[in-house]
Chains A and B, each alone.
Chain A
Amino acid sequence: DAKTTQPPSMDCAEGRAANLPCNHSTISGNEYVYWYRQIHSQGPQYIIHGLKNNETNEMASLIITEDRKSSTLILPHATLRDTAVYYCIVRRYNNNDMRFGAGTRLTVKP
């Protein structure tokens, strides 16, 4: 599976959009991009995933570049409860080999 690179930390003001980037330049055609987050001392929580089209759900939006080498997770109106470590994972279809990179520690500030 392709490796991912994320900035180690980011800050965001409460109520503003949080844009979290992920680089996955070695992604192959059958690999999906998944985002999870982990709030302190809890299990990771699934947020969203996509293959090549942009995706949106009640939690976030996922923007994947046309060449699929990078993506951005957007939390449209960040709250203090969104403070967490966000992990971008690339994973092949029908594959259970799910590994976490270092992630981005997002701090939402009042």
Chain B
Amino acid sequence: DTEVTQTPKHLVMGMTNKKSLKCEQHMGHRAMYWYKQKAKKPPELMFVYSYEKLSINESVPSRFSPECPNSSLLNLHLHALQPEDSALYLCASSRQTGSTEAFFGQGTRLTVV
């Protein structure tokens, strides 16, 4: 199984809502990533978890709150988002060590209204 599964595929939320994005992998990978991608732009790194601990936070606003409850799951909790946060949110995973490729999910298309 070389899949990274993201749910939901699409999400529309109001600026006062709280929602969560979910990412799951069963490849035994111990590094997991969140990226944000705006239209016609490359993915931007947001967070990296290594062995369930946050190792990289790219100065992301606190309205985005990541969580890694176990080695297979990665969540992104969303609260009080702005319309400019509308984007494709991508999750990825990789082995923690070595020269290894990352596997990406298909993303969650988020629209903030």
* B positions within 8 Å CB-CB of A: 4, 31, 33, 35, 42-45, 48, 50, 55-56, 88, 90, 92, 94, 96-99, 101-107
Contacts and interface: CB of A to CB of B under 8 A. Distances in A.
Contacts, number: 58
B45 A97 contact: yes
Bin chain A's interface residue count. 20 to 34
A8 to B, nearest CB: 11
Main secondary structure of the interface of A (DSSP, over half): loop
Given A43-B106, A102-B42, A34 B31 contact: no
19 contacts: A32-B99, A41-B88, A41-B107, A42-B106, A43-B4, A43-B92, A43-B107, A44-B90, A45-B104, A96-B33, A96-B48, A97-B45, A97-B56, A98-B92, A98-B102, A99-B45, A100-B43, A100-B45, A101-B42
